């Protein structure tokens, strides 16, 4: 039997998967708080040895099916502190406490609800067709991807102790490309990232007497502007990096100069040398501007999270791309661009010392995507991941993501001898 034979059972499963997706979308949970999500996904792993609470709220399904390779399929399951504005009838209205106890809106604005649904569907089909393949299948629903350490948490918690280290690790991500598109890329596909929290200490006082203070708001403004020169003046034109100040908090009243300001900064780079250079430059600028402002207490810079560069094993990616083209046809399998977004998926492959491949699946109306690209308005007209407007079209997005996982898994799982002999 081929992947096409196995996937013949997908059609009657789609209504059930659509209901699962809508439920997950309407009930998002933040990183390491995915208790309801994890329970719903664990219940669906019929025929698997199931471990819950892996890495906090992760779920691992193990299906041992005789001798053969060990293949790991991974999906992330956490949501973001974003207020949904899609207008969908299953839109999230959830609010929940963040890590600092603040109540925030919660939304699946990055597609992790779709990732989880895809993997649940693939797990169901692969379990039902176990007579067609041999080996061991690991199905990992990972928490805390947005927090930056969900994969590492699962590794530390012994995700590979249950059934051994995988021979290959496979994963995918929903992107704002055309629904039904599958995008692969050898080598580097996603950037490394560092998230930094910077606390600037000033000296507070009355807004009418700034001369008696060291104003951390002015200091923060100087730092924000100066950080933008790192890429334009310190990184070569042949290299690339992104420095974003995504959060700046200072003060409580118009007539009070506060005694501190807090910034959160995101760094993206495709090269580890460039990554280290950018982070070092941020430290130099923050300390230098603080000294120039005359602060009495030096700034504090802490690392919130970080991801390494996501790198696809070239030989494995080539093999997988060929399998996708054989199933979908060449017109639907495209080369992925370099993505400045980041992922902790690569931590599984690094920890297992196994080749890994991460690919992208489009989820937006294809005609709208083509029209936006042709008009030079893709960035303006097509909501991206992390947007409050981000919402994939359900079909064929749902079908395509299940198909890719099944095709990928069967490409690396072995064919049992009994079938070969027929």
- pLDDT (tens digit, 9 = 90+) per residue, 310-369? 999 999 999 999 999 999 999 999 999 999 999 999 999 999 999 999 999 999 999 999
Alpha-carbon distance values, 260 to 266, 293, 301 (Å): 20, 13, 13
Q: Could you tell me whether strands 300-307 and 103-105 are parallel, antiparallel, or unpaired per DSSP bridges?
A: unpaired
Q: Give the residue from 172, 182, 148, 2 showing the smallest Cα distance to 72.
A: 172
Q: How far apart are CA 408 and CA 28, in angstroms?
A: 28
Report d(CA 98, CA 119) in Å as an integer: 27
Cα first-last separation, the chain: 11
- Label residue 236 exposed, middle or buried (CB < 10 Å: 0-12, 13-18, 19+): exposed
Instruction: Report the binding-site residues.
Output: 110, 112, 146, 173, 386
pLDDT tens by residue, 186-241: 999 999 999 999 999 999 999 999 999 999 999 999 999 999 999 999 999 999 99
Q: Which residues are annotated as a binding site for Mn(2+)?
A: 110, 112, 146, 173, 386
Rounded to 5 degrees, what angle do the CA atoms 282, 288, 292 make?
Answer: 145
The DSSP code sequence of 187-227 is EEEE-EEEEEEEEEE-B-EETT-GGGSB-HHHHHHHHHHHH
**Domains of the chain, with CATH numbers?**
3-191+309-420 (3.40.630.10), 192-306 (3.30.70.360)
Residue-wise DSSP of 56-100: TTEEEEEEEESSS-EEEEEEE---BS----S--TT----EEE-TT
Predicted pLDDT of residue 417: 56
- The one-digit pLDDT tens for each residue of the chain (422 residues) are 689 999 999 999 999 999 999 999 999 999 999 999 999 999 999 999 999 999 999 999 999 999 999 999 999 999 999 999 999 999 999 999 998 899 999 999 999 999 999 999 999 999 999 999 999 999 999 999 999 899 999 999 999 998 899 999 999 999 999 999 999 999 999 999 999 999 999 999 999 999 999 999 999 999 999 999 999 999 999 999 999 999 999 999 999 999 999 999 999 999 999 999 999 999 999 999 999 999 989 999 999 988 899 999 999 999 999 999 999 999 999 999 999 999 999 999 999 999 999 999 999 999 999 999 999 999 999 999 999 999 999 999 999 999 999 999 999 998 765 444 43
pLDDT for the residue numbered 100: 86
pTM for this structure? 0.92
Count of other CB atoms within 10 angstroms of residue 276: 13
Question: Which residues are annotated as catalytic?
Answer: 78, 145
pLDDT at 421: 40
In degrees and rounded to multiples of 5, residue 244 shows phi and psi of -125, 130
CB 324 within 8 A of CB 411: no
Residue 97 bridge partners (DSSP) = 103
What pLDDT is stored for residue 393 in this prediction? 98
Closest by CA to 362, choosing from 393, 341, 339, 326, is 393
């Amino acid at each position: 039997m081929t992947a096409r034979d196995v996937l013949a059972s997908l059609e009657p499963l789609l209504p059930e998967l659509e209901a699962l997706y809508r439920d997950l979308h309407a009930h998002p949970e933040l990183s390491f708080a995915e208790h309801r999500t994890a329970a719903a996904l664990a219940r669906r792993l019929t025929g698997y040895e199931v471990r819950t609470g892996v890495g906090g709220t992760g779920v691992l399904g193990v299906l041992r099916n005789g001798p053969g390779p060990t293949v790991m399929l991974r999906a992330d399951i956490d949501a973001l502190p974003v207020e949904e504005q899609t207008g969908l009838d299953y839109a999230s209205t959830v609010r929940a406490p963040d890590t600092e106890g603040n109540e925030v809106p919660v939304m699946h604005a990055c597609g992790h609800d779709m990732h989880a649904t895809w993997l649940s569907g693939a797990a169901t089909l692969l379990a039902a067709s176990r007579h067609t393949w041999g080996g061991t299948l690991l199905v990992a629903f990972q928490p805390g991807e947005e927090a930056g350490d969900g994969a590492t948490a699962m590794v530390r918690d012994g995700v590979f102790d249950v059934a051994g280290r995988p021979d290959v690790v496979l994963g995918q991500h929903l992107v704002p490309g055309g629904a039904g598109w599958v995008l692969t890329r050898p080598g580097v596909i996603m950037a490394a990232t560092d998230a930094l929290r910077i606390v600037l200490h000033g000296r507070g006082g009355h807004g009418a007497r700034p001369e008696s203070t060291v104003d951390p708001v002015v200091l923060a403004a100087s730092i924000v502007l100066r950080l933008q020169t790192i890429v334009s003046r310190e990184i070569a034109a042949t290299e690339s990096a992104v420095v974003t100040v995504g959060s700046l908090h200072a003060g409580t009243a118009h007539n009070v100069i506060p005694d501190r300001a807090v910034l959160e900064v995101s760094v993206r780079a495709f090269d580890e040398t460039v990554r280290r250079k950018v982070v070092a430059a941020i430290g130099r600028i923050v300390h230098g501007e603080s000294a120039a402002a005359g602060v009495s207490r030096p700034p504090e810079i802490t690392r919130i999270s970080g991801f390494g560069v996501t790198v696809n094993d070239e030989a494995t990616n080539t093999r997988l791309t060929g399998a996708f083209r054989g199933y979908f046809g060449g017109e639907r399998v495209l080369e992925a661009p370099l993505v400045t977004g980041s992922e902790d998926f690569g931590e599984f492959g690094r920890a297992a010392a196994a080749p890994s491949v991460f690919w992208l699946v489009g989820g937006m109306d294809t005609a709208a995507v083509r029209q936006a690209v042709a008009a030079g308005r893709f960035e303006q007209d097509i909501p991206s991941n992390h947007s409050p407007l981000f919402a994939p079209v359900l079909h064929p997005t749902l079908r395509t993501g299940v198909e890719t996982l099944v095709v990928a898994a069967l490409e690396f799982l072995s064919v049992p001898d009994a079938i070969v002999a027929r």
